[in-house]
Structure 1
Amino acid sequence: MLKKTDETSRRNFLKTGAVAAASFMIVPRHVLGGKGFTAPSDKLIVAGVGAGGKGSSDIENFYKSGKAEIAFLCDVDDRAAAGTVKKFPKAKYYKDWRKLLDKEAKHIDAVSVSTPDHNHAIIGLAAMQLGKHVYIQKPLTHDIYEARALTAAAKKYKVVTQMGNQGASGDGVRQLREWYDAGLIGDVDTVYCWTDRPVWPQGITWPTGKPAVPKELDWDLWLGTAPYKDYIDKLVPFNWRGWWDYGTGALGDMGCHLMEAPFRVLNLEYIKEVQSSVATPYVDNWQRAYFPDSCPVSTHATLTFPKTNKTQKDVTVHWMDGGIQPERPAELGPNETFGDGGNGMLFIGTKGKMMAGTYGINPQLLPTSRTKEANVPKTLARVPGGDNGHYAHWVEACIAGYGKIELSSPFELAGPLTEALLMANLSIRGHNVEVKNAKGEGSFPGRDLKLVWDNQNLKVTNFDAVNQFVKREYREGWKFGA
């Protein structure tokens, strides 16, 4: 909902503006009639920044709630936005999100952000500073510092927030929590999460060609906070995920979907240590190839979390991507699917095991025959519509106002989850950070270290070279929190 100052301005706009007369007129519910009718004054006025790809489906899901008015759209690429613009012809269209917020802030209740990772935080914080509720696609941010800042900002500005890891609203994660809380698998200190992603190029060098920028794309705006580089083919709209300047690799793409359940089941918070191994192909003369600009083709990161009120000791979470999977449980039948095939999560307990697929779907006790035999009462409220209700739930919460409705992935929960994933990425990136001694000789110590994390001060204490990635330098002209 709008703050009092914005609400006054909005009322003035509604009284005088032509748009108000056409679209936002406040009319008593009984006049317009119809059981279940939602008066325009009760709707959430939404601006969608990032109108193509996942942004398109986000916007449509807000609209399907029946309580959201898609009033503004913004995208740097007219090609990507074309379909959404066609579906919402009354929505005013912008290319630059800064102009959108500057000109339309008084007419907006909430902002949805679905851009490449490197621009999530700067847009989200700008919206929150204007008192707007915010929905941001996963991962919440590109950098650890940004995640901590957005978590604090949500509380400071008292706005309703949600990250786009829709599985957090699903029934599966709640079922896993209820099984664990009932003691069906005992105490857990080891979890495995894995994915078959990336499904985009990684472990490659930056292309040398300089093709023309498509006329529909504002390349400078797309780069936003990232360092300037010439446009390359096929980076937009999907393959940016494999480059550190813009994306966060397979871990950033799928980690929020796969590690959310372990976080909720075990009450995990901030990471304490991480170590990783990465795949490095051989090239000429039997030399290994390292690509510091590009995420590796596959990784295995081992994350250590302090014990919680739901565990007896520290918890180790194994992250595997690029098709790497943990050892198949002996309790799983030979023809039974492990996770959901390409992705999954496995909890190892002192009394048993349980697994699930992406988003926590299809939770199973092992052996799977135990699943049907389990008779545990439902102690956790379900989100109407499950993971599909993730969007409508946020819309309802925004209309109700800050602190009125409990959401599945507000920034107070999404922030620490995102930080853990990005901390693991520090270890992965550390493999390619060269450190030179006084003689100018270089080495790569990050390939051999377990990084120790100082959560209070947001820094790695035993390998300073990777701290440059905790808070990156924005390109000139772009400032976080400006």
Structure 2
Amino acid sequence: MKENEEKASAPSRRDFVKTSALAAAGFTIVPRFVLGKGYRAPSDTLYIASVGLGGKGTSDIEAFVKSGKAKSAFLCDVDQDYAAHVFNTYPDAKKYVDWREMLDKEHKNFDAVHCATPDHTHAVVATAAMSLKKHVYVQKPMAHDVYEARMMANMGNKYKVQTQMGNQGSSSDGVRKMMEWYDAGVIGDVTEVWCWTNRPVWPQGWYGANTPNGLRWPKETATPPSTLNWDLWQGTAKEKPFPATTDTPGGIKVLPFNWRGWWDYGTGVLGDMGAHILHGPMKVLNLKYVEKVSTSVGQGGTLETGPASSFTTMTFPKTDKTSGPVKVHWLDGGMIPPRPEELDPSEHWGEGDGGMLFIGTKGKMTAGCYASRARLLPVSRMDDVNVPEKYARVKDENHYAQWVEACLAGYGNMKTSSPFEEAALLTEAMLMCNLAIRGVNLTTSKEVTGRDGNKHTRNTNPAAYIDLIYDAANMKVTNVDEINQYVKREYRAPWKLSGI
């Protein structure tokens, strides 16, 4: 990419692009990947700058530091009150509110960036960090839109940095065990998979007696607390006044967690749990791009928020591990697939965070969320099947330590479990489901001729309850053009992706 093109695509904080260009030319702390294969940097410690500290960000940072080879060197959050406990835990770390300022001023002093912000700002943070040649760990989903995921897919390779999405089940023994069973032909050929979750556990869609028609964004506004930079929190999303909680049905508070159910900021149930549950089928069957998706939804979904439940089916084309197309069914909101007849009567079914069920021509296999408790059905088959270990395990199944080790080893010297080139495929599949779910509530006006011969305007719903046909090469739904507005959303100025 030409220099002027890269500058034009960077986030527009004053002097950020200029400094970023200089950063690409030289570092005070030389990143390990610059030193060449086999050459270790003077320090064995990975210096990490974290963006988004509350909630999942807290446990991420704890896990990195617990590896014994990482230091939380810089901490950034737009909500100083919500992040206070993290600031207090790492008093030596330098603190920021605006991540662009942190990258601008401190890029020479850290090796990697960790991002655990709300979904709608994952891509702008991650692409800015990668364009500065920083290793990146981004919480799931790695992107809010299909376009963002596709643009990020090869950036780790482009900038020669280690990447990892925060779907820790991808480092589990369970998914590797299922890959080995399937490769050995234990359950035969799979053409159908069921996946499910108990989510949402946040307000979304219909939410009790106070919201019979579904959630709506609060009409009443308030002054943001002095400890919160509301403008920065909104980031790429369209600007809105700060919502007052008293006007929200049921007194629901949008921040710090309930943003997940609002399409402007979150990616609903699929974005939260799809990465943990759909990863199994994607990896075991080597699935790539969805070619068709359809859905049926429960109560309360709107163009603003997701529904209370959904049943969505993705169709994937044949891969090198299947004899034909594969259908992957997704259930959420408490729905589960029928209990397999091979299941022992004493075996629990459908409990916990969710799971996956592979239907093969010679048998079935199942696992819980994160590919935990992987087992054949009936479970008695486990005593008879002895498949050699084919895929290397991740030490202690530690997704976080693996990324730290990979960063220290340098680009090209170690592979992570969920690098962006793979995570992007998974993310795109999840977001394609969201296109179908959002499409149920998408209406357009159409002029028709009535029986009286006069012209009338009729509202139609072109994307509801049909198969959306997806042209992956062009990132376009071919049979309902109206849905393509959500493939690549418009950012609020001045936000842009960097280095694509």
2:387 aligned partner: 376
After TM superposition, where is structure 1 displaced by more than 3 Å over at least 4 residues in a row?
Answer: 3-9, 339-342
1:210 aligned partner: 221
For 1:45-60, list aligned pairs within 5 A: 45-60=47-62
Q: What is the one-letter code of the residue matched to 1:311?
A: T
Identity of aligned residues (%): 56
For 1:305-324, list aligned pairs within 5 A: 305-324=316-335
Does the aligned pair in 1 maintain the 2:29–2:108 contact within 8 Å?
A: no
For 1:54-453, list aligned pairs within 5 A: 54-203=56-205, 204-232=215-243, 233=245, 234-280=253-299, 291-386=302-397, 389-438=398-447, 439-453=456-470
**Structure 1: distance between partners of 2:219 and 2:23:** 52
**Structure 1: distance between partners of 2:225 and 2:381:** 56
**Structure 1: distance between partners of 2:376 and 2:225:** 51
Does 2:464 correspond to 1:462?
no
1:477 aligned partner: 494
**Structure 1: distance between partners of 2:273 and 2:182:** 23
Does the aligned pair in 1 maintain the 2:261–2:267 contact within 8 Å?
A: yes
Provide the aligned length of Structure 1 versus Structure 2.
Answer: 446
5+ long unaligned stretches in structure 1: 13-37, 282-289
Does the aligned pair in 1 maintain the 2:291–2:471 contact within 8 Å?
A: yes
Does the aligned pair in 1 maintain the 2:293–2:313 contact within 8 Å?
A: yes
**Structure 2: distance between partners of 1:187 and 1:328:** 20
Deviation, 1:448, is 2.8
1:56-100 alpha-carbon deviations (Å, 9 max, x no partner): 111111111111121100001112211111111110000100100
Change (3 A) 1:9 1:252: closer
SS of residue paired to 2:256 = coil
**Structure 2: distance between partners of 1:9 and 1:344:** 45
SS of residue paired to 1:456 = helix
Give me the CA root mean square deviation. 1.9
Does the aligned pair in 1 maintain the 2:196–2:354 contact within 8 Å?
A: yes
5+ long unaligned stretches in structure 2: 1-20, 31-39, 206-214, 246-252, 448-455
Deviation, 1:6, is 6.5
Does the aligned pair in 2 maintain the 1:323–1:342 contact within 8 Å?
A: no
**Structure 2: distance between partners of 1:223 and 1:360:** 34
Q: What is the one-letter code of the residue matched to 2:358?
A: F
1:10 corresponds, among 14, 22, 28, to 28
Q: Give the TM-score normalised by structure 2.
A: 0.86
1:186-208 alpha-carbon deviations (Å, 9 max, x no partner): 00010000001000111111122
**Structure 1: distance between partners of 2:297 and 2:468:** 15
SS of residue paired to 2:492 = coil
Q: What is the one-letter code of the residue matched to 2:360?
A: G
1:384-434 alpha-carbon deviations (Å, 9 max, x no partner): 011xx1111111111111111011000011001000100111011111111
SS of residue paired to 2:154 = helix
Change (3 A) 1:423 1:11: closer
